[in-house]
């Protein structure tokens, strides 16, 4: 029996995490789900979208499955996601992006893993007004942050039999910050002779990804570029609705879909739960339940290839519940 924190989130988060839980439970893995509420719906009760009880639960259980949480734009609480990553020091975001047969895409051979530094860079939120007509943000990198995310990417490549790591940067302009990131990438690459290393300026990287994504394997990026490029990569395989994600630290890990909370369709039973279910697959692999993870992953692939049961974003008219139940049939 595993003790795992479940954070439904808000918007469609409640629906997609319910689907993921239902599929994982159907696989036969015994989990005691410790449900913790976060997001806009708990502000009135707790005075914050991120109650301390959520953080305490993750610290205790070490692992969480999380749904998307709405972040106010331009005002209010900065971000539940950012706050969780900072509080738990979840320094590495991992997003595998792989073509799935049956999902409409311009490409049929994408297999990329985006490794993003998760708590430094502009997302540290160091902002201020300078006078009445100027606002500035501080872009901050540390040697510790650069070294550990780059080493994480190379270790991931080695452990998962990946052949190449590409460090993505803008060191031609950001000489000190991105320059530090690139220097560490070059040095650490020397320790992994069996892995091909290359470096790429971020704007060139974006162009190449939409031209020939099949030439890339593992990408390692600072926080801001990683946020943007990971969504771009999701677009290469059909969208965020099928993009799983995970965040790793030394003492805790959170698994969550890459997409947002989509409040406009919340409660309508039409959200695509694939990304949440595949995030659950990543979680099961992480805790050593590879057999159950592979069963679920294969069931998802069979449903998508069948093309009979699919949600609206995938060109169908099935409900979230119908799609989930179809996956369970294949288990």
Q: How far is CA 57 from CA 62, 65, 175, 209, in A?
A: 8, 12, 41, 39
Placement of tokens 């924190």 in the chain: 5
Number of H helices, E strands in the chain: 11, 12
Residue 320 has pLDDT above 90, yes or no: yes
Q: What is the rounded distance in angstroms from the CA atom of residue 44 to the CA atom of residue 192?
A: 51
Residue 92 has pLDDT above 70, yes or no: yes
Q: Given this model, what pLDDT does residue 104 score? A: 87
Asked whether the beta carbons of 269 and 319 are under 8 A apart, the reply is yes
Asked whether the beta carbons of 227 and 101 are under 8 A apart, the reply is no
Name the pTM for this structure.
Answer: 0.94
Q: Strand pairing of 164-169 and 246-248? A: unpaired
Asked whether the beta carbons of 143 and 181 are under 8 A apart, the reply is no
Burial class of residue 72, CB neighbours in 10 A (0-12, 13-18, 19+) = exposed
Q: What is the rounded distance in angstroms from the CA atom of residue 206 to the CA atom of residue 215?
A: 13
Torsion on CA atoms 177, 179, 184, 186, rounded to nearest 10? 160
Placement of tokens 């879909």 in the chain: 257
pLDDT tens digits for range 35-84: 999 887 788 788 888 899 999 999 999 999 999 987 655 555 568 888 89
Domains of the chain (ranges, CATH numbers): 1-97+240-331 (3.40.718.10), 106-236 (3.40.718.10)
Burial class of residue 73, CB neighbours in 10 A (0-12, 13-18, 19+) = exposed
Q: Given this model, what pLDDT does residue 47 score? A: 83
Percent of the chain with pLDDT over 70: 98
Residue 244 has pLDDT above 80, yes or no: yes
Q: Which of 191, 91, 190 is nearest to 141 (CA)?
A: 91
Q: Given this model, what pLDDT does residue 73 score? A: 57
Q: How far is CA 101 from CA 33, 104, 107, 290, 294, in A?
A: 32, 8, 10, 22, 16
Q: Determine the average pLDDT of the residues in 25-32.
A: 96
Residue 242 has pLDDT above 80, yes or no: yes
Q: What is the rounded distance in angstroms from the CA atom of residue 26 to the CA atom of residue 20?
A: 10
Asked whether the beta carbons of 266 and 234 are under 8 A apart, the reply is no
Tokens (6 digits) for 122: 């502009």
Ramachandran assignment for 262, one of left (phi > 0), alpha (psi -120 to 50 degrees), beta (any other): left
Percent of the chain with pLDDT over 90: 85
pLDDT band for position 272 (cuts 50, 70, 90): very high
The separation between CA 211 and the C-alpha centre of its own chain, rounded to angstroms, equals 23
Q: What is the DSSP string of 106-143?
A: S-S--EEEEEEE-SSBGGG--EEE-SSS-EEE--B--H
Q: What is the rounded distance in angstroms from the CA atom of residue 299 to the CA atom of residue 228?
A: 30
Q: Taking the CB of residue 35, how many other CB atoms lie within 10 A of it?
A: 11
pLDDT tens digits for range 143-194: 999 999 999 999 999 999 999 999 999 999 999 999 999 999 999 999 999 9
> What are the residues facing 80 on neighbouring strands?
none
Catalytic residues: 123, 170, 203, 227
Q: Determine the average pLDDT of the residues in 307-319.
A: 91
Q: What is the rounded distance in angstroms from the CA atom of residue 302 to the CA atom of residue 311?
A: 15
Q: What is the rounded distance in angstroms from the CA atom of residue 266 to the CA atom of residue 15?
A: 8
């Amino acid at each position: 029996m595993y003790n795992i924190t479940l954070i439904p989130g808000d918007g469609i988060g409640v629906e997609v995490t319910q689907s993921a839980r239902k599929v994982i439970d159907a696989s036969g893995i015994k989990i005691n789900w410790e449900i913790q509420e976060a997001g806009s719906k708990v502000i009135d009760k707790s005075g914050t979208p991120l109650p301390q009880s959520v953080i305490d639960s993750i610290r205790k259980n070490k692992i969480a499955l999380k749904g998307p949480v709405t972040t106010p734009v331009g005002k209010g609480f900065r971000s539940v996601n950012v706050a969780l990553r900072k509080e738990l020091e979840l320094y590495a975001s991992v997003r595998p992006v792989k073509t799935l047969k049956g999902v409409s895409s311009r490409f049929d051979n994408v297999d990329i893993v985006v490794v993003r530094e998760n708590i430094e860079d502009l997302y540290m939120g160091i902002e201020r007004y300078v006078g009445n007509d100027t606002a500035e943000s501080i872009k901050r990198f540390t040697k510790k942050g650069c070294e550990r995310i780059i080493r994480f990417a190379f270790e991931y490549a080695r452990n998962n039999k990946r052949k190449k790591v590409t460090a993505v940067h803008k060191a031609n302009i950001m000489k000190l910050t991105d320059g530090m990131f690139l220097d560490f990438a070059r040095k650490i690459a020397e320790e992994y002779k069996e892995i091909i290393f290359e470096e790429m300026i971020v704007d060139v990287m974006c162009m190449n990804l939409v031209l020939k994504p099949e030439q890339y394997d593992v990408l390692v990026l600072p926080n801001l570029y990683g946020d943007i490029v990971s969504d771009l990569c999701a677009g290469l395989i059909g969208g965020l609705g099928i993009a799983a994600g995970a965040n790793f630290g030394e003492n805790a890990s959170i698994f969550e879909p890459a997409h947002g909370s989509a409040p406009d369709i919340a409660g309508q039973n039409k959200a695509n739960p694939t990304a949440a279910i595949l995030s659950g697959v990543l979680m099961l692999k992480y805790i050593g339940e590879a057999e159950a993870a592979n069963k679920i992953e294969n069931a998802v692939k069979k449903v998508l290839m069948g093309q009979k049961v699919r949600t609206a974003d995938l060109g169908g008219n099935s409900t979230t519940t119908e799609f989930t139940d179809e996956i369970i049939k294949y288990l």
